[in-house]
Structure 1
Amino acid sequence: MSGHSHWSKIKRYKSATDAKRGRAWSKLARRIIVAAKHGGGNPDENLTLRYAIDDARAENMPNDTIDKAIKKGTGELGAANFETIVYEGYGPSGVAYMVECLTDNRARTAPELRKIFERGNGQLGATNAVGWMFEQKGVFTIEADKTTEDALMELALDAGADDVVLDGDMFEVTCPPAAYAAVKARLAEHKIPTSSSQIGMLPKNTVAIDTADKGAQILRLIDLLEENEDVQNVYTNYEMSDEVMEQAVNNA
């Protein structure tokens, strides 16, 4: 399926930039608030909340901060009313961008994103401007030395995964969103650690980026978007070789 290697490469890039910049706890708190609001404050009964808490703990968010976010979501503490909105647009080299936001004021968020796109040599588009180029999938990345391809293939496919692909030193497991919980549980049952796991948007087709300069422009726009507090995730459809990616990261 197109887009597999894209996912692991962007995850590696994001890991490098997140380590430099630090993942904003406020973004994680918003996820927890929204998850608790829509599904209740018990993570054993609310998988969306459980995954949000897992991500928050992975970023060393204190337990009392997590608890406060849950209480804000359930109404025990006051909180802003956040809603999920996905904005779409084009960036440098015709690359498609889908920007998932949690915002309490869409009248603020849309103009801010429009300015960011323009600053990054892109353009914010209308609804479904690029959405048709993506499909929602559960995606897990696993270091290749943590398991064997045969073992991973057998247990992942048995749990409902679509595919398992080895990309360099990383396995990528993709699955329908409905199978995400089952695949995640099966990996945990077999004590196979994941480098990343989430339900996200995978590109159906990709745009090949063959120079570091073009790549750096694309990555810079991703950085600019992710610096906005309302932005939760940025999905794109670019494809770069490892060599071009490394040079682009250094130039971004």
Structure 2
Amino acid sequence: MDMPRLGFGTYGRTGPEGIAAILAALEVGYQHLDTAQTYDTEREVGEAVRRSGLSRDEVFVTTKVSEENLGEKQVIPSLERSLDALRLDHVDLALIHWPARKGGPAPEIYLRQIAEAKERGLARHIGVSNFTIALIEEARSILGDGAILTNQVELNPWFRNRKLADHCVARGMIVTCYEPLARGKVGADPVLRRIADERGATPEQVALAWELAQGYAAIPTSRNPDRIAQNLAAQEISLSSDELAEIDVLDRGIRSIDPAWGPDWD
């Protein structure tokens, strides 16, 4: 299975309510579930997949290696623990969640380990998250062209992240948008609301349709079954070139996820 471009994010989807939300996503047609070691939702994802009755090859599962697991001989054991939590023999995509902060392990240390995880069959694909242009280029020099499937970064109509996104596309990497709805804030945007009203859609659907039209992937989340289904239906919206152009200029340059220890953003 190629990576479905519209996935279901599982941050915050913990416990029985989390399983119910993930299961609702699978039932309405999502085929891509995005989790992470730091989300503490790997068990919920695995349980929802089992309850869904879907076969393993019908669900694309992504997880991310957390920062504390980037040292020598740590990446693969951490992924093995993730697989135990998921009760799966492999994930479809394993990402480095954040590059190590200054003073931490060098990229070569953890990138070579995640490449080895793929060689061992623990992951079908590998990728990165929150990597800058400089880190992308370093990763390419270490692993070679084509090794990295995606860079998962914050991106939405209010935070275009254009320089980084364009660089990833030029390097043949899929851009996966996290915070694709800016934590729901884009729903108040007057341009998105007008386009949505004209189309009988929601502003959130329009935002997701814009991201998909760029060739990006996106991983919205919700606990509300109706909203879960609405977000998936964004795939059915084909925006006109004029509408895409209107949305292209909505960038406010406001980043939602910006830890003090994060990389030096582009």
Scaled by the length of structure 2, the TM-score of the pair is 0.27
Greater strand content: 1
Bigger relative contact order, structure 1 or 2, given CA contacts below 8 A and separation 6+?
1
